[in-house]
Amino acid sequence: MNVRDVSPKLKQLVGKLYENVPSGVGSKSKVRLNPQQLEEAVTDGLKWAHRQGYATSKDLDHCEENGYFGDSDYSKVSDMAKKRGGPQIGTLGAGNHFMEVQRVEKIFDPEIAKAFGITGEGQITIMVHSGSRGYGHQICDDFIRTMMGAIQKNNWQLPDRELSYAPLHARESQDYLQAMRTAINFAFNNRQLMTHWARETFAQVFGSTWESLGMDLVYDVCHNIAKFEEHEVEGKTKKVCVHRKGATRAFWKGRKEIPQAYRNVGQPVIIPGSMNTASYLLCGMPGAALTFGSSCHGAGRVMSRHEAVRRFSGRDIVKQMEAKGQAIQAGSYDLLAEEAGGAYKNVDEVVRAVEQAGISKIVAKMVPVGVIKG
């Protein structure tokens, strides 16, 4: 689809997306899973969504780990996490989570862009940023307490009281890794459900099928995950645990972990900026070997949310965006102030730094035309 097709129905489209994709603090999904159903979803990952009709086999092919992380254990997850997760799978959440209807403003590498499904400037794309919601948050909270107990019990010395730790071979660590992997599978399904409802919304508004509208998944990648990978360390290939927190994978062509469709090109790397600026699609490059195959996953904040609310007006942001022909739906004006473009680093400078470092190559720049915030 092209921006010319979307512009006449933009407000209707954004309104329907806001209606069909649950968002906001404590939002509840249209799919309510009991503990047994949740176990199936967080154990099987996107294979569960595929069985339920929410994903295609191509979606799985275009997802990190094919949308499934094994060696997970639902029994390591607390009852509170299960209680929080059941109603939230398929919800956007709030804070910096978003769904954007975007326009491709500039293509920097037409060959790689075409391999990723980006065929021309003016093309419409959708970007979704969300994760494992209250389910993953609770797992993290639970195991921080577990680790702190282990630290006291074993009298381990840490350089900062804000840190928690347990040796990788310890029972506490192994339990955490198995619980964390269920949160990864939760996140894969969470984003896929929202993708499914976004596709249905476009089909409804434009009176067509999502397939005919060309709404294929480019890539689904994690940005808060610990996983074991092979990397070169001091001239030798070693298996290491890479924890990407606020980071995303940026593998270069030839790595076996990249989906077959992109293996001869390199992995898509998605870097959002802000709702007032732009987002970028990049491609992993060999220079990422120096960063254990990792890139930033966004522009990054330059001020706290409290300071952003003090400096910016949510009402003014809406007026400015609407004056540029953009449509926006959000839970509150304060949330918009928290997420103002001025609260973030200049994403253009961020991606240039990533490219100059040889970590990823800039492929395309997208700007928002429709924004959904919790």
List 296's β-bridge partners, or say none.
Answer: 247
Q: Tell me, yes or no, whether 333 lies in a domain.
A: yes
Domain count, the chain: 2
Domain boundary among 217, 236, 256: 217
Q: Tell me, yes or no, whether 23 lies in a domain.
A: no
C-alpha closest to that of 44 among 176, 215, 192: 192
Question: Same domain, yes or no, for 202 and 231?
Answer: no
Give residue for tokens 């990422």.
Answer: 288
Domain boundary among 185, 217, 249: 217
Question: Same domain, yes or no, for 113 and 38?
Answer: no
Q: How far apart are CA 193 and CA 154, in angstroms?
A: 43
Q: Give pTM, 2 decimals.
A: 0.96
Q: What are the average pLDDT values for consecutive 10-residue runs of the chain, which has 374 residues? A: 95 96 84 92 98 97 96 97 94 93 98 98 97 96 94 90 88 96 98 97 97 97 94 95 94 95 96 94 97 95 96 96 94 94 96 98 98 90
Question: Same domain, yes or no, for 38 and 83?
Answer: yes
Please answer whether residues 197 and 187 qualify as being in contact, where contact means their C-beta atoms are separated by less than 8 angstroms: no
Question: Same domain, yes or no, for 362 and 237?
Answer: yes
Q: Catalytic residue at 62?
A: no
Q: How far apart are CA 32 and CA 84, in angstroms?
A: 11
Exactly one of 50, 62, 97, 297 is catalytic; name it.
Answer: 297
Question: Same domain, yes or no, for 145 and 255?
Answer: no
Which CATH number do you get for residue 100?
3.90.1860.10
Q: What does the pLDDT read at residue 136?
A: 96
Question: Same domain, yes or no, for 109 and 122?
Answer: yes
Q: What does the pLDDT read at residue 163?
A: 87
Give residue for tokens 């489209």.
Answer: 13
Q: Tell me, yes or no, whether 7 lies in a domain.
A: no
CB atoms within 10 A of CB 43: 18
Domain boundary among 217, 234, 269: 217
Q: How far apart are the first and last CA of the chain?
A: 26
Q: What does the pLDDT read at residue 77?
A: 97
106 alpha-carbon distance from chain centroid: 22
Q: What does the pLDDT read at residue 354?
A: 97
Burial 223-232, CB ≥16 within 10 A → b, else e: bbbebeeeee
Q: What does the pLDDT read at residue 364?
A: 98
Q: Which residues contact 224 (CB under 8 A, 6 or more apart)?
A: 131, 136, 244, 245, 246
Q: Tell me, yes or no, whether 19 lies in a domain.
A: no
Question: Same domain, yes or no, for 233 and 287?
Answer: yes
Question: Same domain, yes or no, for 70 and 170?
Answer: yes
Question: Same domain, yes or no, for 336 and 371?
Answer: yes
Range of the domain at 119: 95-128+221-374
Question: Same domain, yes or no, for 212 and 348?
Answer: no
Question: Same domain, yes or no, for 269 and 303?
Answer: yes
